[in-house]
Amino acid sequence: MTVPKLLNVRDFQAAAAQILDPVHADYFAGGARDEITLAENETAFDRISLLPRVLRGRPAPDLTVDLVGSPTSMPIFLSPTAFHRLAHPEGEAATARAAAAAGTVMIAAMASTVAVEEVAAQGTALWFQLYLQPDLAFTESVIQRAAAAGCRALVLTVDSAVFGSHERDNRHDFHQLPDGLHCENMRDAGEVRPIQMSPEFSWKHLRWLQSVTDLPVILKGILHPDDAILAVEHGAAAVIVSNHGGRQLDTTPASIRALPAVVRAVGGRIPVLLDGGIRRGTDVVKALALGATAVGVGRPVVWGLAVDGGKGVSAVLEILRAELEHTLLLCGYGSVRELVAGLLLLPPGEY
């Protein structure tokens, strides 16, 4: 049988669907409730058109950016996604090796099936994604582990007062990991604690977090511009415009639609990053032109991992890199830092 060439991220999505256990495939693919936001994260990019310039005399594009003190080879980082060992036996360790090879940042998930120490040992620039736990002493111990492992920043997820409602998982009755897999960053004195959400967390807890660590704190899950202003006022090092991949509150706007208002609210005081729906290099260019410093990819990383472990993740990242460079060349830009909103034709009334 001839194996089809995997030429783009969608090819990896289709191939991963054939490889993954159907229950786990639905876990990775699914969103909240009717999955309206999940779909909109991708289709919102399709409604934005590129308006290229010509005869600009630009050299090969410079893709490098600095992400909160971490120099990267391109403005694409790995967003935190849970349970990589559901996709491949090496899990997050293989993902981290691919991130290191690509020269970019990986955000290690709190719900990782490989401990942060082992992930960090793969040599990538690593940030640590954190859910504040009601037991703040335990939360502090997790932060200390991440810092000791060499993580360069904390990424506090702020859009999860409670767990999202995932009807695909409910239909499968998928509510715990298979035997032998655990959330390794939740180990405490030999036991693995469950991750807990709480609606009682507030901005004062960000102050507490900053008091127990010297690491820069990035807030992930910002959609409202007023929250972006509060993030700046409370000393956040950056914000990530994100709706949790459509997995928390359904019918929130696509991340790309929320981006411009957040960028305006921040006013250049801190970097604005984005994740949600990035599937092509053209998507990356559109986000950067609207003011994002860099974008994160989540599900595409898992698809690559399922198909061919770390090599599959590397292939996905290099496809996006090549598409990004190709798009910049055709648009007449010599650097990702040159991109401006004038490159885009936006749908009336949406932005």
**Annotated catalytic sites, by residue?**
244
**Which tokens sit at 5?**
């060439």
Residue 192: how many other CB atoms lie within 10 Å? 13
Type of residue found at 274: L
Please give the Cα distance from 12 to 290 (Å, whole number).
27
**Which tokens sit at 185?**
């960053």
275: helix, coil or strand? strand
Q: How many residues does the chain have?
A: 351
Please give the Cα distance from 39 to 60 (Å, whole number).
34
Please give the Cα distance from 79 to 221 (Å, whole number).
12
**Which tokens sit at 253?**
């706007």
Inter-residue contact 90 to 119 (CB < 8 Å): no
Please give the Cα distance from 92 to 78 (Å, whole number).
11
201 backbone dihedrals φ, ψ, rounded to 5°: -70, 145
Inter-residue contact 210 to 126 (CB < 8 Å): no
131 backbone dihedrals φ, ψ, rounded to 5°: -100, 120
Residue 204: how many other CB atoms lie within 10 Å? 9
Helices (H), the chain: 9-19, 22-29, 36-46, 91-102, 116-120, 136-149, 167-172, 203-211, 225-233, 255-266, 281-289, 299-331
Instruction: Give Dmax over CA atoms of the chain in angstroms.
Output: 64
Please give the Cα distance from 74 to 25 (Å, whole number).
29
